[in-house]
């Protein structure tokens, strides 16, 4: 994945706000997980996926993200 200079700057600012050491990869992975969780929630609320598919998919998301849903 190629990132623009502007995107790298934004990621570095995000990194600076996190107390423990993280990599750019950690941040991007967390952002993907967060977006995935929001998409699942939206699809479930709009009745586009079943409750069992929703719950099975949520199992793929780290707990720290699930607490934000």
Residue 13 is predicted with a pLDDT of 97
Going residue by residue through the chain, which has 69 residues, state the pLDDT in tens, using 9 for 90 and above.
899 999 999 999 999 999 999 999 999 999 999 999 999 999 999 999 999 999 999 999 998 888 877
Alpha-carbon gap, residue 65 to 40, rounded angstroms:
13
Domain ranges in the chain are 22-69
Residue 1 is predicted with a pLDDT of 83
Question: What is the biggest distance separating any 2 CA atoms in the chain, rounded to whole angstroms?
Answer: 41
Predicted TM-score (pTM) of the model is 0.81
Residue 46 is predicted with a pLDDT of 98
Residue 64 is predicted with a pLDDT of 85
């Amino acid at each position: 994945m190629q990132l623009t200079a502007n995107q790298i700057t934004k990621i570095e600012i995000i990194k600076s706000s996190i107390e423990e050491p993280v990599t750019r990869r950690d941040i991007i992975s967390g952002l993907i997980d967060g977006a995935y969780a929001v998409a699942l929630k939206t699809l479930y609320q709009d009745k586009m996926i079943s409750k069992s598919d929703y719950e099975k998919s949520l199992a793929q998301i780290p707990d720290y993200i699930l607490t934000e849903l």
